[in-house]
Structure 1
Amino acid sequence: MSFRPALIVVDMQNDFCPPDGSLAVSEGRDIVPLINRLLASRHFILKVATQDWHPADHISFATNHAAPNNKPFESFVDVQNLVANKPEQTMKQRLWPVHCVQGSKGAEIISELDTSAVHFSIKKGQDARVEMYSAFSDSFGNLTSGDGGVSHDLAKELAAENITHVYVVGLAGDYCVKDTALGSAKAGFTTYLVEEAQRCVDPRTWSDVKTALADGSVTVVSMDGDEVRRVVDH
């Protein structure tokens, strides 16, 4: 099969970047030169950016829950799978500061990122009832394209271009980058996560994240490795 790679740049948004982001990931801006180098490559068939695009009443926002169980980063709430009308399915949802509210400055992609080569941007997490770290599905595995959750069916978009390999970069490595990469592999694409081109909310978890990625058939690769050299212009 021919090599038809795609690049997914995850959530490089103002609210996820220092110094002013409401959910700033440490060193989040430091990865921009690496991502821009990838975006400049002529080898990618498709280049996609993702954005969290939350309504103000999103279930993951700590301010939308009653005290004392409403501490950002610390508190968890039980969430039901209401999107699929399966309330018996539940999961624990970590609560976050308000971030990436639809139409806000914080939801915009940072200006340093060269988006001129991006074919389209996916706005995800638009359903207030459920978290959506992955650009492929929400946290329950639902794809709510056209129903308020996400603006594109990413798996279909990639398949339409006969994509074979997917490279994932961006923020944050332990949440949206990880889950997007796992979603890509689950959708049947050979998937790489470029280690130097991500940063984590909690860098201490990176070893566990890499284990989860390996278990989900995602390969963590280096900017200096053969997989990236294959797609970077020299």
Structure 2
Amino acid sequence: MSPPTPENSALAIIDLQNDFCPPHGALAVEGGRDIAPAINKLLEIPFALKLATRDFHPPNHISFASQHSGKNPFVDSHTITSPKNEKETQTTLLWPDHCVQNTPGCELIPELNTSALDLVVEKGTDIRVESYSAFGPPFRNPPVAMSGVDTTLRKHGIEHVFVCGLALDFCVKSTAVDAAEFGYSTYVIEEATRGIDCSDSGRTKARADMEKVGVRVIRLDGLELAAIRK
């Protein structure tokens, strides 16, 4: 694979939405709003494709604790079975209601320079399945509710995907892992993401999970981004 260039690289900004940011987000990530300046700087780099994702959940989404009797957010889990293959399952933590379609919480934060985006991808729209990844839910045999991100990246000749946004230990990690497994050289930009588990051990685990499949965690001043700036 050729090295990163402006022509073969994409920026993926994951879920930088009101509900994931303090002070009023339903599922606020500590420091989530603080990464907007770094991401806006990334948007100045001439990537071939600049996309953002947003959770866009129906009000009765399966990931909401409110949809499961006696279950509590952040505490209880639920095992989701693929609606097309009962042998495929995903166990997920349950969440407070968040990023509900057509509410202020699902909107990208105003600090983000959305005018520099080429595309906004909505995910988590199918009430039956959870989609942390920008590519779609983890059910692939057969695929369920895929987002079309992979098709879009290939259409633009993308070989390298640079990931940032929220939250490191869930949607950023899942997107990066999927990108690597779909065959892209994948990088997560350390200063431009925050995790729900913001402890040192939480960050270390997320990093290890990504590096295990070949994702590289890089810095804003790293050589990979310098090559695209040129």
Task: Provide the rounded CA distance (Å) in 2 between the counterparts of 1:7 and 1:169.
Answer: 8
In the other structure, the counterpart of 1:200 is 195
In the other structure, the counterpart of 2:181 is 186
Cα distance, 1:138 vs. partner?
Answer: 0.2
Cα distance, 1:230 vs. partner?
Answer: 2.3
In the other structure, the counterpart of 1:116 is 115
Q: TM-score, normalised by structure 2?
A: 0.93
Cα distance, 1:71 vs. partner?
Answer: 1.0
Greater CA drift, 86-95 or 123-132: 86-95
1:221 aligns with 2:218: yes
Given that residues 46 and 119 in structure 1 are in contact (C-alpha distance below 8 angstroms), is that contact kept between their aligned partners in structure 2?
Answer: yes
Task: Provide the rounded CA distance (Å) in 1 between the counterparts of 2:129 and 2:108.
Answer: 22
Given that residues 17 and 25 in structure 1 are in contact (C-alpha distance below 8 angstroms), is that contact kept between their aligned partners in structure 2?
Answer: yes
In the other structure, the counterpart of 2:90 is 91
In the other structure, the counterpart of 2:64 is 61
Letter of the structure 1 residue corresponding to residue 187 of structure 2: Y
Q: How does 1:42-191 map to 2 (within 5 A)?
A: 43-67=46-70, 70-82=71-83, 85-141=84-140, 143-144=143-144, 149=145, 152-191=147-186
Secondary structure, counterpart of 1:156 in structure 2: helix
Secondary structure, counterpart of 1:166 in structure 2: strand
Q: Residues 38-76 of structure 1: CA distance to partner in whole angstroms, max 9, x if unpaired?
A: 0112x2000000000111111110111101xx1111101
Task: Provide the rounded CA distance (Å) in 1 between the counterparts of 2:101 and 2:107.
Answer: 9
Cα distance, 1:194 vs. partner?
Answer: 0.2
Cα distance, 1:139 vs. partner?
Answer: 2.9
Letter of the structure 2 residue corresponding to residue 74 of structure 1: V
Task: Provide the rounded CA distance (Å) in 2 between the counterparts of 1:143 and 1:134.
Answer: 13
Letter of the structure 2 residue corresponding to residue 167 of structure 1: F
In the other structure, the counterpart of 2:9 is 5
Cα distance, 1:225 vs. partner?
Answer: 1.3
Given that residues 143 and 153 in structure 1 are in contact (C-alpha distance below 8 angstroms), is that contact kept between their aligned partners in structure 2?
Answer: no
Task: Provide the rounded CA distance (Å) in 2 between the counterparts of 1:139 and 1:89.
Answer: 9
Given that residues 136 and 143 in structure 1 are in contact (C-alpha distance below 8 angstroms), is that contact kept between their aligned partners in structure 2?
Answer: no
Cα distance, 1:206 vs. partner?
Answer: 1.1
Q: Residues 61-108 of structure 1: CA distance to partner in whole angstroms, max 9, x if unpaired?
A: 0111101xx1111101121111xx212333322100100011111000
Letter of the structure 2 residue corresponding to residue 122 of structure 1: V
Greater CA drift, 198-207 or 87-96: 87-96
Cα separation, partners in 2 of 1:232 and 1:21, compared to 1, 3 Å: farther
Task: Provide the rounded CA distance (Å) in 1 between the counterparts of 2:48 and 2:179.
Answer: 16
RMSD: 1.4
In the other structure, the counterpart of 1:34 is 38
How many residues in Structure 1 have an aligned counterpart in Structure 2?
223
Letter of the structure 2 residue corresponding to residue 25 of structure 1: V
Q: TM-score, normalised by structure 1?
A: 0.91
Cα distance, 1:12 vs. partner?
Answer: 0.4
Task: Provide the rounded CA distance (Å) in 2 between the counterparts of 1:106 and 1:56.
Answer: 12
